[in-house]
Amino acid sequence: MSGATASSPQPDLAPARGEVVLRTHALVKRFGGIEATQQVSLSLARGDRMALIGPNGAGKTTLINLLTGVLAPTSGRVELHGQDITPLAPHQRVGRGLARTFQINQLFGSMTARQSLAVAVSGRLGRAHRFWRSIGRDTELSAECDALLERFRLAEEADRPTLQLPYGKRRLLEIALAVALKPSVLLLDEPAAGVPAAERQDILDTVAALPAEVSVLLIEHDMDLVFSFASRIAVLVNGALLTEGTPQAIASDPRVRAVYLGETVVHHG
């Protein structure tokens, strides 16, 4: 399969279908003499399911921080729905439809899943100033919270303090909170990280059932999750895009196996 090497200039990797909702143009981020991202250009289409993989230290988290505004690029730009959002702060990007699980993973341990979702939904609806009063009286708010609790397998845990939830359920709640913002682009930063094997299937199933109209970029080391979810995979190595393609093409690419130095990247199934 053709693709750029880690040291060559990066092409503009336009998706094969749909309207482009998120695009990066030659993103570079330097920390002193270290170039954490090197001319990274990629595109995400409406409804796309894309995974970003790479060995430890490849620059995946730096790239996500550039997309979300946590970091400012040294050069290059980020576009959302065709608009340059590079100067915007993280909360402004959220307001334009770009959500990230990492941004809202500081769950309040004393609040229940239902209350946490009510905060997110009421904030999106402009009712945050009265959500405590509205949580039991606002039928629109209650109905949306109930639907999210059901969709994310949290209905039975809805009124337990978050601190008492199993870790896998907390991860589900983090994703639910991001979806409650009704983003057009959702960045999932290792949703299965640290989740016990017994709870992992819930994460797999829930990620697979995310709203079809939402474009999703997934960063994940769990290759079962990557290959069960992604229609496209981009491989980042030493801050540069090595290649991008279908899961089948990535699994059979000898360069991808080589850069992982023995890490399992081939999907058998």
The answer to whether residues 28 and 37 touch, using CB atoms and an 8 Å cutoff, is yes
Question: Tokens 């895009």 belong to which residue?
Answer: 241
- 130: DSSP letter: G
Residue 194: burial class (beta carbons within 10 Å; 0-12, 13-18, 19+): exposed
* Domains in the chain with CATH codes: 1-97+183-269 (3.40.50.300), 108-182 (no CATH)
The mean per-residue pLDDT over the stretch 186-191 comes to: 91
| Per-residue pLDDT at 11 exceeds 80 | no
Distance CA(139)–CA(9), nearest Å, equals: 53
> Rounded to the nearest 5°, which phi and psi values hold at 15?
-70, 160
Strands 34-45, 49-53: pairing kind: unpaired
| Per-residue pLDDT at 126 exceeds 80 | no
Q: Tell me: the pLDDT tens digits for 238-265?
A: 999 999 999 999 989 999 988 875 554 5
Would you place residue 102 in the very low, low, confident or very high pLDDT band (cuts 50, 70, 90)? Answer: low
| Per-residue pLDDT at 225 exceeds 90 | no
Q: Tell me: the pLDDT tens digits for 147-168?
A: 999 999 999 999 999 999 998 9
Question: Tokens 């040291």 belong to which residue?
Answer: 7
